[in-house]
Amino acid sequence: MIRSVRPLANVSSRIAKRNLASSSSELVSIELPASSFEGYNLDIPELSFETEKETLLQMYKDMIIIRRMEMAADALYKAKKIRGFCHLSVGQEAIAVGIENAISKEDTVITSYRCHGFAFMRGAPVKAILGELMGKRTGVSYGKGGSMHMFAPGFYGGNGIVGAQVPLGAGLAFSHKYRGQKAAAFTLYGDGASNQGQVFEAYNMAKLWNLPCIFACENNKYGMGTAASRSSALVEYHKRGQYIPGLKINGMDVLATYQASKFAKDWAAQGNGPLVLEYETYRYGGHSMSDPGTTYRTREEVQHMRSRNDPIAGLKATLLDKGIATEEEIKSYDKAARAYVDEQVASAEADSPPEAKMDILFEDVYVPGSEIPVLRGRISDDSWDFKNKTFLNKVY
Amino acid sequence: MAPKLSSVAKTAQLAASALKSNAVRSSLKYSGQYQALRMINGTRAASSPAEKKTITIRDALNAGLAEELDRDDDVFLMGEEVAQYNGAYKVSRGLLDRFGERRVIDTPITEMGFTGLAVGAALHGLKPVLEFMTFNFAMQAIDQIVNSAAKTYYMSGGTQPCNITFRGPNGAAAGVAAQHSQCYAAWYGSIPGLKVVSPYSAEDYKGLIKAAIRDPNPVVFLENEIAYGETHEISEEALSTDFILPIGKANIEREGTDLTFVSHSRSVKFCLEAAETLEKQYGVKAEVINLRSIKPLDVPTIVESVKKTNHLVTVEAGFPAFGVGSEIVAQVMESEAFDYLDAPVERVTGCEVPTPYAKELEDFAFPDEPTVVRAARKVLGL
């Protein structure tokens, strides 16, 4: 008799709130610059569109939470409270936020190891994400996965092997189609991963079988320390799909990423098959916490992107411009986000790690109720007997 | 009381009676009827339960797949040539006709891509049965099998299961040379998070493929190409749609008192033949254990047998170094059976060479009955 799988750490109700259009929510007109999009065998999305003020405010709040959460992770890593790999998305917030605000709970998202922002947007609480980074039992994956293996409803990780998530994403799209769902699978990968053979294998099957798979390259110009021009014979990643229509998007503008993601979701839901998106973006930090990010690019370049193209500053300017929020209100949102994240950091730090017990170590190798009889420990005495919930040779 | 007929047997009955009343074969209206007729060796309503049916391994596997496709809409079959070609080895014959192209899907020759795609579908809740034309080709996809399928439930803290079955021919065929003849039982058997199954008889194939598909974990189902055409007896019980064999229980194919053979897949056949020879020529009664399952390995059954016979020979077709036989020997040595051994364990394995092509050399590359007998005589001091 198979017990049900463990539920995901308490998912926030933020998603439900977002989808309800309040009657007092006003519409605001957005006019994107022509440089926002570039199509490949595709008519670009409308540059002018209307959206609710509430949506813009929500996107601002989402981005600042992600920014503060990632910066908290940076500090915790330097304080040695986070171990191993930690890949931060500071500067790339507009993509996760734009996509989530454009899609529904039924759509699916999958990405690589630079996944904290996406996990948050899909419903994992800040505390659970930080908890997982610190290896706490209250983490998203109960302390078993770490930075690269976070999951949430409709979010399939968090994947450590570069490019492996792309065929997985095509599989999510396959399942949507198999079940007759009008949903899309947003399958993200970087410029570094874009040359993987399995990406092209996934493109082929998605186009052949008309799968609702939105392939989305987060082109942040560098695959670890290798500039895109040194890794890719063709750096126009939205054209790599050859027989699949493509769209390049200014990934530093959340309004552009939002509009493009809505366009892509509708494209897929209408049964038009796959698309290859390229969100042009930039990461201020290094590839991971082990990489200062300055040996292969100049500090000036990083500063330039930060001061001229920052997604949060960009949306802030729009909010002020359109009178959606005042300077004081925005400052208060910033303060609130900072306080909230600081509070979640403290709360997560106070939590305990998984107990150093063998039965916890051996849990989750197989679905409960279908475990194999024995899993071996470091020595034969430490072999765990699942049926009797004890050690094979000794009773501890 | 007459046993409940499987849906396959019922279909075959209807087909048989349709044929009787109208001699033209092409008049059978419903797809799957030819398939059912072939599977059930001329089942008639009047046959008695005591009569032993026979079935080829191919047809037993086909029946198991058809029954699981029938039972659960989330199950689908995917692989190269599984649909229109009816299967590279005809294992999926008739399934496209019966279930349609939504459920039985031909893929391009892109193992890494379609394996990842199938794993992604499993993560979303479907239950793929993914065929590799041989497990040699699965090496291209092994990252998806191990890192995306096997480890995900653990890495997600038990929140993200992956119900997928990877199946296909494993190990030697005949004259297909080095790149097409490797046995992967040991490779997959070492991965926590996978289950690995290796059937021998028709009942094994049918009962275990159903168990594998229903198991919520990723399961690697190792078949054997030479075995597909072999005919085995099959019980009426095994023909039923509810017949499942538990994963992890070995089967004692032949009881004995003097020596234990432990084997899996095609090598079980050589053990059974060797047991005959040993009895006739030396009066030795050998016990033959058909593992059925590589992971988990049924160590208790092996230990009980060794305590009884005091002698052990392992027989398998994989490479000797770091293999299934090595694992069995280590497990036995670590168990109480160690004190019951009257001689060191002998491993019979594939030869440590890339499989040669010329038959004279290929015959040296894999276990056969004379080699198994030689190993038994060594262990028994005969």
CB of A107 closer than 8 Å to CB of A186: yes
Q: What is this model's ipTM?
A: 0.93
pLDDT > 80? residue A280: yes
By the CB < 8 Å criterion, does A245 face chain B? no
Tell me which chain A residues have a C-beta less than 8 angstroms from the C-beta of B332: none
Q: What is the pTM assigned to this prediction?
A: 0.91
The arrangement of strands across the sheet holding A37-40 comes to: A37-40, A246-250, A275-280, A213-219, A185-190, A108-110
Q: Which two tokens stand for residue B11?
A: 């279909």
CB of A52 closer than 8 Å to CB of A27: yes
What's the gap in Å between the CA of A368 and the closest CA on chain B? 9
Let me know if B232 is a catalytic residue: no
Tell me which chain A residues have a C-beta less than 8 angstroms from the C-beta of B114: 167, 201, 205
Read off the pLDDT of residues A37-68 as tens digits, 9 standing for 90 and up.
999 999 999 999 999 999 999 999 999 999 99
By the CB < 8 Å criterion, does A374 face chain B? yes
**pLDDT value of position B17:** 74
Which residue, A213, A209, A212, is CA-closest to A199?
A: A213
Residues facing residue A223 across a β-bridge = A226
What's the gap in Å between the CA of B119 and the closest CA on chain A? 6
**pLDDT value of position A389:** 86
What integer best gives the mean pLDDT of chain A? 93
What's the gap in Å between the CA of B51 and the closest CA on chain A? 35
Amino acid (one-letter) located at B242: D
Which residue, A105, A214, A219, A216, is CA-closest to A170?
A: A214
Read off the pLDDT of residues B42-55 as tens digits, 9 standing for 90 and up.
444 344 555 679 99
Q: Which fold does the domain A13-354 belong to in CATH?
A: Rossmann fold (3.40.50)
By the CB < 8 Å criterion, does A166 face chain B? yes
pLDDT > 90? residue A128: yes
By the CB < 8 Å criterion, does A142 face chain B? yes
Percentage of chain B beyond pLDDT 70 is 88
What's the gap in Å between the CA of A131 and the closest CA on chain B? 13
In this complex, do A143 and B157 lie within 8 Å of one another by their Cβ atoms?
yes
What integer best gives the mean pLDDT of chain B? 92
Burial classification of residue B334, based on how many CB atoms lie within 10 Å of its CB (0-12 exposed, 13-18 middle, 19 or more buried): middle
Which residue, A243, A217, A254, A284, is CA-closest to A74?
A: A284
If DSSP codes are grouped into helix, strand and coil, which group holds residue A286? coil
In this complex, do A110 and B120 lie within 8 Å of one another by their Cβ atoms?
yes
Let me know if B180 is a catalytic residue: yes
Give the residue with greater pLDDT, A273 vs B44.
Answer: A273
pLDDT range class, residue A393, cuts 50, 70, 90 = low
Percentage of chain A beyond pLDDT 70 is 93
**pLDDT value of position B30:** 55
pLDDT range class, residue B13, cuts 50, 70, 90 = confident
Read off the pLDDT of residues B208-241 as tens digits, 9 standing for 90 and up.
999 999 999 999 999 999 999 999 999 999 999 9
Compute the average pLDDT of residues A258-277: 98
Q: Is the CA virtual torsion A155, A159, A162, A164 positive or negative?
A: negative
With an 8 Å Cβ cutoff, the interface of chain B facing chain A consists of: 76, 102, 107-108, 110, 112-126, 143-144, 147-148, 152-161, 192-193, 195, 215-217, 248, 295-296, 299, 334
Ranges for all domains in chain A classified under CATH 3.40.50.970: 13-354
In this complex, do B112 and A370 lie within 8 Å of one another by their Cβ atoms?
no
Q: How far apart are CA B244 and CA B331, in angstroms?
A: 27
Tell me which chain A residues have a C-beta less than 8 angstroms from the C-beta of B158: 5-6, 142, 144, 363-364, 367-368
Tell me which chain A residues have a C-beta less than 8 angstroms from the C-beta of B123: 156, 168, 171-172
CB of B163 closer than 8 Å to CB of B122: yes
Read off φ and ψ for residue A197, nearest 5 degrees. -60, -40
Q: How far apart are CA B124 and CA A170, in angstroms?
A: 11
**pLDDT value of position A21:** 47
Compute the average pLDDT of residues A250-260: 98
Compute the average pLDDT of residues A228-256: 98
Tell me which chain A residues have a C-beta less than 8 angstroms from the C-beta of B110: 198, 201, 204-205
pLDDT range class, residue B1, cuts 50, 70, 90 = very low
In this complex, do A365 and B334 lie within 8 Å of one another by their Cβ atoms?
no
Q: How far apart are CA A32 and CA A47, in angstroms?
A: 5
CB of B244 closer than 8 Å to CB of B295: no
Q: Which of B67, B68, B80, B111 is catalytic?
A: B111
What's the gap in Å between the CA of B162 and the closest CA on chain A? 9
If DSSP codes are grouped into helix, strand and coil, which group holds residue B234? strand
pLDDT > 90? residue A156: yes
In this complex, do A5 and B159 lie within 8 Å of one another by their Cβ atoms?
yes
pLDDT range class, residue A396, cuts 50, 70, 90 = very low
Q: Which two tokens stand for residue B259?
A: 């020596």
pLDDT > 80? residue B12: no
**pLDDT value of position A23:** 44
pLDDT range class, residue A279, cuts 50, 70, 90 = very high
**pLDDT value of position A359:** 86
Which residue, B210, B208, B219, is CA-closest to B68?
A: B210
What's the gap in Å between the CA of B48 and the closest CA on chain A? 35
Tell me which chain B residues have a C-beta less than 8 angstroms from the C-beta of A5: 158-161
Burial code (b: 16+ CB inside 10 Å, e: under 16) for B104-142 equals: bbebeebbbbbbbbbbbbbbbebbbbbbbbbbbbbbbbb
pLDDT range class, residue B36, cuts 50, 70, 90 = low
Report the run of H or E that residue A175 belongs to, with start and end. Answer: helix A165-178
Compute the average pLDDT of residues A240-248: 98
**pLDDT value of position B40:** 59
Tell me which chain A residues have a C-beta less than 8 angstroms from the C-beta of B107: 205
**pLDDT value of position A17:** 41
